[in-house]
């Protein structure tokens, strides 16, 4: 009896030990999200200074560079208004490390007492492109639009091809050497490091076909090739799990093979295929390494309007900001991460929603 | 007629995956061959000195000679991956055993999403986290013992990479643990074994090929990982056993070689393709072994 107790106890300890692994992950996630949010949220606020025509040049020097330039071009301040402060002032107001001189610090303190300093929602962050010199002016818009363009190209190319491949392999392919080679190729593609796809994009699309470097077109194509195998495998397993009786019933009614696929298999498998595609695209959005090789981490301040124009993407912005020396850029990198994670959460939620929606519809 | 047209369209789409695989291999192979025509294969494979600077464009327009010995790059890659696996395997297998054997439906619903969220985090974000949070922590921790650690240590990059790999190892291993034949597991319970004893006597031995395969897949992920190492590891090739020193990896140098404005046919730019070829071959071999093991596992299960 004593032995049994001991064994049961040891089993219980083992269970706890295994559960520890999950708690470690949970702890990591909490620390991770906590520290990113802690770093990123301040970037959603930005400091403004109230200026009057009589304000002296000392206060003007606290403003953002572009604001200073505007004032110079106008020939001084014409009327009372709020102006964007520069990032060092912003960091000081947020009580973080800043490189201001003591005299400037005391000036800010007096301005604060006069209520001429205010922090507001940082709309620049959402509606501006990148800026190399002034963090307070830089924003995610160019990166977000670029990411959308790249994903659009990726989706348009990858999803139809993958679904067609999956249908061919599941429904039509004869069991011969060619089919086996295709299957092996797909499995190999799925296991290749993503950076190798970057080399492919560089060597094939840019060097060989001469497509424009850093463009959304090349980026999208590269990511499309990367997500092909993922979507194919997901679609294949979706088609495989379609109820065989339904298909047989279709054939019994005299439907041709393509009619069965179009009328029965595809509609039944669609929810899973869609979910798989969305998840693959979500993965592609966060991918950075292959895009680095085709020049998409170049500094691009403007929102791109065509597929062949140089484009930047969200992960590239994060990478660029993270390697800047100014603390204000680190804050922006973290805020950019929050935007990116938000986008991913949105995509995943839509995948879950689609799955639920279709499951509710097909209840036969 | 229509049917045949559709079938051949679908077939063409399926061919694309072969074409892409071939294109990848050919592009990389051709560029790598160009590289080895210029630089020696022997140096690449057996020398530890990587001095690519020599290949930069000089003022008079000529390119100098760099020394491309990749041993220390590969060492860094394997060492950082080793640290990653030492983090990922224990935690991943622990998670897999808990989720596969102990967890009820409720706690599965609670814990599975955690792993899925971690699996969905982009690697550039992991890299940022490694630089901003983990590196200072490591330096601070070892300062207590008066040991100086580099901010770009192999430990920091490897640890975060390990965290990234945990979900892969956990979910694949869980699949294998759950597909161990129910007859044997129930038979073991019928003999009065506790869950722990069943795990060690029945489940683990049978699921071992599958677990090893999932760890290998994780390893190949680690070898090819780029963003974490490019942010958290350094550029200095370093053949050292000290995990507190900075190290560099193959992927870092692939990116490094293609930054800047050299011509595409310079030795430096081409070296990226030779490194890529090596990485491609290594990961391909590891993936094939792991696919073979999983295949064996599923074959053996039907006993």
pLDDT tier, B53 (very low <50, low <70, confident <90, very high otherwise): low
Q: Does B231 touch chain A (CB under 8 A)?
A: yes
Confidence category of residue A82, pLDDT binned at 50, 70, 90: confident
Residue B209's closest CA among B237, B240, B172?
B172
In angstroms, rounded to a whole number, what is the distance separating the alpha carbons of residues B17 and B31? Answer: 21
Query: For A215-229, how does the pLDDT look when each residue is reduced to its tens digit (9 = 90+)?
Result: 899 999 999 999 999
Cα dihedral angle (A143, A145, A147, A151), rounded to 10 degrees? -170
| A27 touching chain B per CB within 8 A | no
What value does the mean pLDDT take over residues B111-131? Answer: 92
| Exposure of B95 in the CB half-sphere (CA atoms within 13 A) | 31
Tell me whether residues B24 and A192 touch, CB distance under 8 A. Answer: yes
Q: Is the pLDDT of residue B156 over 90?
A: yes
**Average pLDDT of the residues in B270-288:** 92
Looking at residue A324, what is its pLDDT? 86
Q: Does B135 touch chain A (CB under 8 A)?
A: no
- Phi, psi (degrees; rounded to nearest 5) at A16: -60, -45
CB contact under 8 A, B163 and A197: no
* Res. A56 pLDDT band, cuts 50 70 90: confident
B224 contacts on A by Cβ (under 8 Å): 192-196
Average pLDDT over chain A reads 87
**Residue B60 scores a pLDDT above 70:** no
Burial bucket for residue A238 (CB in 10 Å: 0-12, 13-18, 19+): buried
> Does A285 score more than 80 pLDDT?
yes
Q: How would you classify the pairing of strands A117-121 and B67-68?
A: unpaired
pLDDT above 80 for B130 = yes
pLDDT band of residue A358 (cuts 50, 70, 90) is: confident
pLDDT exceeds cutoff 70 at B301: no
Position A196 scores a pLDDT of: 93
Do B17 and A15 lie within an 8 Å CB cutoff? no
The answer to whether A334 contacts B128, with C-beta atoms less than 8 Å apart, is yes
Q: How far apart are CA A299 and CA B165, in angstroms?
A: 31
Residue A277 and residue A204 in contact, taking contact as beta carbons nearer than 8 Å = no
Return d(Cα A250, Cα A243) in angstroms, integer.
Answer: 11
Residues in chain A closer than 8 A to B279 (CB atoms) = 193, 195-196
CB contact under 8 A, B280 and A196: yes
Query: Kindly report the CA angle at B296 between A163 and A18, in degrees rounded to 5?
Result: 90
Q: Do residues A230 and A283 lie in contact, with contact meaning Cβ atoms separated by under 8 Å?
A: yes
Query: Does the pLDDT of residue A54 top 80, yes or no?
Result: no
Q: Is it the case that residue B110 has pLDDT exceeding 70?
A: yes
pLDDT at position A362 is 63
d(CA A110, CA A351): 53
Judged by average pLDDT, the poorest of A27-36, A262-271, A303-312, B85-94 is A303-312
**Average pLDDT for residues A127-142, to the nearest whole number?**
84
pLDDT at position A218 is 93
Is the CB of residue A37 less than 8 Å away from at least one CB of chain B?
no
- Residues in B touching A188 (Cβ below 8 Å): 21, 284, 287
Answer whether B122 sits within 8 Å of A200, measured CB to CB: no
Q: What is the mean pLDDT of residues B149-156?
A: 90
Sheet with A81-84, edge to edge strand ranges = A81-84, A45-51, A117-121
Contact assessment for residue A117 and residue A59, using Cβ atoms and an 8 Å cutoff: no
Residues of B in Cβ contact (< 8 Å) with A158: none
How far apart are the C-alpha atoms of A157 and A231, rounded to whole Å? Answer: 12
User: Which pair of tokens denotes residue A27?
Assistant: 């702890």
Query: What is the predicted ipTM?
Result: 0.89
Which chain A residue has the Cα nearest residue B90? A21
Instruction: Give me the DSSP letters along A201-269.
Output: IIIIIIIIS-PPTTBHHHHHHHHHHHHHHHHHHHHHHHHHTS-HHHHHHHHHTT--HHHHIIIIIHHHH
Asked if B264 has any chain A CB less than 8 Å from its own CB, the reply is yes
Helix-then-strand count for chain B, H and E: 13, 2
The answer to whether B295 contacts chain A (CB < 8 Å) is no
Cβ contact (<8 Å) for A344 and B287?
no
- DSSP for B135-184 reads HHHHHHHHHHTT----TTBHHHHHHHHHHHHHHHHHHHHHHHHHTS-HHH
Q: In chain A, which residues have their Cβ closer than 8 Å to the Cβ of B17? A: 165, 182, 185-186, 189, 228-229, 232
Q: Which residue is closest to B276 within chain A, CA to CA?
A: A196
- Indicate the residue of A28, A257, A330 with minimum beta-carbon distance to B132: A330
**Does A241 contact B at CB distance below 8 Å?**
no
CB of A135 within 8 A of CB of A122?
Answer: no
pLDDT exceeds 70 at position B59: no
Under 8 Å CB pairs connecting chains A and B tally to 240
Question: What pTM did the predictor assign?
Answer: 0.90
User: Which residues 185-224 of chain A have a CB within 8 Å of chain B?
Assistant: 185-189, 191-197, 199-200, 202-204, 207-208
Question: Is-contact B24 A198, C-beta < 8 A?
Answer: no
| Closest by Cα among A264, A218, A259, A225 to A242 | A264
Q: What is the pLDDT of residue B63?
A: 57
Task: Please tell me which residue of chain A has the smallest CA distance to B21.
Answer: A185
| Statement: residue B58 has pLDDT above 60 | no
Measure CB to CB from residue A340 to each of B24, B122, B280 and give the nearest one: B122
Range with top average pLDDT, B53-67, B241-255, B256-270: B241-255
Token pair 């348009």: residue: A156
Kindly tell me if the per-residue pLDDT of B116 is higher than 60: yes
φ, ψ dihedrals at A46, nearest 5°:
-140, 145
Q: Which of A243, A246, A276 is nearest to A259 (CA)?
A: A246
Alpha-carbon distance of A249 to A220, in angstroms, equals 41
Q: What is the mean pLDDT of chain B?
A: 88
Residue B272: which of A170, A199, A273 has the closest Cα? A199
Strand locations in chain B, DSSP E?
50-51, 67-68
Report the range out of A61-65, A75-79, B130-134 with the highest average pLDDT: B130-134
What local confidence, expressed as pLDDT, does residue B54 receive?
A: 58
According to DSSP, the residues that pair with A118 across neighbouring strands are A48
Assess whether pLDDT exceeds 60 at residue B56.
no
Strand partners for A83:
A49
pLDDT of residue A319: 92
A316 has a pLDDT exceeding 60: yes
CA distances from A65 to A46, A68, A301, B84, B227 (A): 15, 5, 16, 44, 32
Question: In this model, does residue B57 exceed pLDDT 70?
Answer: no
Residues of chain B positioned with their CB less than 8 A from the CB of A25: 91, 95, 114-115, 118, 163, 166
Sign, Cα dihedral of A135, A138, A139, A140: negative
The 10s digit of each residue's pLDDT in B158-216 is: 999 999 999 999 999 999 999 888 898 999 999 989 999 999 999 999 999 999 999 99
What is the rounded average pLDDT of the residues A305-334?
88
Instruction: Examine the pLDDT at B68 and tell me if it is beyond 70.
Output: yes
Identify the residue among B124, B151, B160 best suited for mutation to test binding to A, counting A beta carbons within 10 A and taking the highest.
Answer: B124
B190 membership: H or E segment, kind and range: helix B182-190
Given pLDDT bands bounded at 50, 70 and 90, which one contains residue B235? confident
**Which B residues in the span 48-87 are in contact with A, Cβ-Cβ below 8 Å?**
none
């Amino acid at each position: 009896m004593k032995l049994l107790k001991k064994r049961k106890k040891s089993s219980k300890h083992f269970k706890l030990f295994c559960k520890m692994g999950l708690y470690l992950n949970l702890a990591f996630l909490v620390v991770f999200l906590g520290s990113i949010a802690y770093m990123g949220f301040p970037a959603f606020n930005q400091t403004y200074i109230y200026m009057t025509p009589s304000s002296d040049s000392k206060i003007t020097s606290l403003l953002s560079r572009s604001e200073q330039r505007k004032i110079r071009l106008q020939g001084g301040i014409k009327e009372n208004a709020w102006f964007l402060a520069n990032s060092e002032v912003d960091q000081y107001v947020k009580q973080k490390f800043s490189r201001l001189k003591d005299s400037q610090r005391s000036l800010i303190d007096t301005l604060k007492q006069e209520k001429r300093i205010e922090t507001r929602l940082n709309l620049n962050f959402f509606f501006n492109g990148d800026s190399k010199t002034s963090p307070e002016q830089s924003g995610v818009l160019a990166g977000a639009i670029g990411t959308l363009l790249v994903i659009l190209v990726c989706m348009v190319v990858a999803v139809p091809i993958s679904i067609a491949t999956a249908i061919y392999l599941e429904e039509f392919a004869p069991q011969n050497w060619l089919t086996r080679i295709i299957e092996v190729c797909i499995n190999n593609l799925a296991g290749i490091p993503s950076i190798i796809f970057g080399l492919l994009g560089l060597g094939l699309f840019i060097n060989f076909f001469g497509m424009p470097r850093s463009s959304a077109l090349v980026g999208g194509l590269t990511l499309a090739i990367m997500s092909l195998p993922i979507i194919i495998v997901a679609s294949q397993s979706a088609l495989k799990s379609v109820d065989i009786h339904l298909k047989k019933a279709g054939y019994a009614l005299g439907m041709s093979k393509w009619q069965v696929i179009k009328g029965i298999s595809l509609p039944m498998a669609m929810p899973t295929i869609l979910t798989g595609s969305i998840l693959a695209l979500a993965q592609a959005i966060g991918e950075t390494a292959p895009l680095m090789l085709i020049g998409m981490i170049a500094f691009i301040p403007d929102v791109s309007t065509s597929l062949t124009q140089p484009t930047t993407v969200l992960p590239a912005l994060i990478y660029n900001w993270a390697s800047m020396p100014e603390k204000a850029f680190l804050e922006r990198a973290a805020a950019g991460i929050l935007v990116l994670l938000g986008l991913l959460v949105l995509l995943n939620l839509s995948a879950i929603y689609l799955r639920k929606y279709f499951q509710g519809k097909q209840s036969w | 007629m229509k049917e045949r047209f559709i079938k051949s369209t679908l077939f063409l789409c399926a061919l694309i995956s072969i074409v892409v695989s071939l294109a990848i291999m050919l592009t990389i192979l051709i560029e790598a061959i160009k590289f080895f025509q210029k630089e020696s294969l022997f140096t690449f494979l057996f020398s530890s000195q990587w001095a690519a600077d020599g290949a930069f464009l000089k003022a008079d327009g000529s390119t100098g000679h760099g020394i491309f010995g990749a041993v220390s790059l590969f060492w860094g890659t394997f060492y950082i991956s080793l640290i990653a696996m030492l983090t990922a395997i224990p935690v991943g297998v622990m998670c897999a055993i808990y989720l596969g054997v102990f967890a009820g439906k409720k706690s599965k619903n609670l814990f599975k999403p955690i792993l899925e969220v971690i699996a969905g985090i982009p690697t550039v974000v992991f890299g940022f986290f490694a630089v901003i949070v983990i590196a200072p922590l490591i330096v601070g921790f070892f300062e207590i013992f008066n040991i100086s650690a580099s901010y770009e240590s192999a430990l920091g990059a490897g640890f975060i990479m390990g965290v990234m790999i945990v979900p892969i190892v956990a979910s694949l291993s869980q699949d294998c643990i759950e597909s161990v034949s129910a007859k044997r597991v129930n038979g073991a319970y019928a003999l009065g074994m506790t869950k722990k004893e069943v795990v060690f006597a029945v489940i683990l031995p049978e699921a071992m090929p599958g677990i090893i395969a999932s760890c290998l897949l994780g390893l190949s992920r680690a070898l090819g990982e780029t963003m974490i190492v490019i942010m958290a590891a350094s550029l200095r090739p370093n053949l050292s056993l000290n995990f507190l020193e900075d190290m560099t990896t193959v992927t870092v140098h692939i990116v490094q070689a293609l930054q800047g404005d050299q011509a595409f046919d310079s030795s430096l730019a081409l070296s990226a393709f030779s490194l890529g070829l090596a990485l491609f071959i290594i990961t391909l071999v590891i993936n094939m072994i792991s696919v073979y093991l999983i295949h064996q596992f599923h074959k053996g299960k039907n006993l």
